[in-house]
Amino acid sequence: MKRIVILQRGWVFVGDFEQKGSYCTLKNAAVVRRWGTTRGLGELAQRGPLQHTVLDPSPDIRFHELTAIATIDCVEEAWKSASN
């Protein structure tokens, strides 16, 4: 499932979320450098990348579950055209 993940120190990532034990992985990941929304990350999760959204492609991102501040499930259909 595609998720936006907010990690400690303000890092915001998006990708295909997997969890095994205490460790999480985002595949097909990107750093969300600019949200490009008027209604926050929830809008980005629901509508997918917008005109002013900036996503920086990244290799797989791995992190411990305790470093996650929040995760937001994305609407898969809205993200299908995203090339992250």
CATH numbers and ranges of domains, the chain? 2-79 (2.30.30.100)
Percentage of the chain beyond pLDDT 70 is: 98
What is the Cα–Cα distance from 40 to 50, expressed in whole angstroms?
A: 12
Instruction: Name the burial class of residue 17, with classes exposed (0-12), middle (13-18) and buried (19+) by CB atoms within 10 angstroms of its CB.
Output: buried
pLDDT at 84 over 50: no
pTM: 0.92
> Per residue in 53-76, pLDDT tens?
999 999 999 999 999 999 999 999
- Give the pLDDT confidence score for residue 81 in this predicted structure: 76
What is the Cα–Cα distance from 14 to 26, expressed in whole angstroms?
A: 7
Q: Where are the beta strands (DSSP E) in the chain?
A: 2-7, 12-20, 23-34, 54-57, 61-64, 68-73
Question: pLDDT band for position 51 (50/70/90)?
Answer: very high
- The token pair that represents 21 in the structure block: 């034990």
